[in-house]
Amino acid sequence: MSLNEVAAWPVSIVCVSDRRLVDLVTGKIRTNRSTKMTIFGCADAHGVIVYNGIGMDDSGATPSDWLFELEAQEKVFGKGLDELLCRVAADLETRLQKIRAKYESKKARHTFVFAAWREGSSCLYGVSNYERVDNDEELIEGREIVTISEWLSTPKSQIRILTTGMRPPTADVHAIAEVIKQDPLNLSRVIARCVKSVRGVAFRRGIAKGTVGAAAQWAAIGPAREQVRCGLDVVGGRIAQETPNLINIGAQVYIGGTMSAQIGGPGMLIKDTFAGNESARGIARYDPSKKAAVFSEPQCGVCGAPLPASHRFCEVCTGDKHRKKSKHAPHHLRPA
CA atoms within 13 A on the CB side of 40: 28
Q: Residue 249: its pLDDT value, please?
A: 98
Pick from 125, 126, 128: nearest CA to 141: 128
Q: Residue 333: its pLDDT value, please?
A: 39
Q: Residue 281: its pLDDT value, please?
A: 84
- CB-based contact 11:222 (threshold 8 Å): yes
Q: Residue 206: its pLDDT value, please?
A: 55
Pick from 117, 79, 72, 98: nearest CA to 222: 117
pLDDT digits 0-9 by tens, 243-256: 999 999 999 998 87
Taking every pair of Cα atoms in the chain, the longest distance, rounded to a whole number of angstroms, is 58
Q: Residue 325: its pLDDT value, please?
A: 59
Domains of the chain (ranges; CATH) run 3-329 (3.60.20.10)
- pLDDT tier, 80 (very low <50, low <70, confident <90, very high otherwise): very high
Q: Is the entire prediction scored with pTM above 0.75?
A: yes
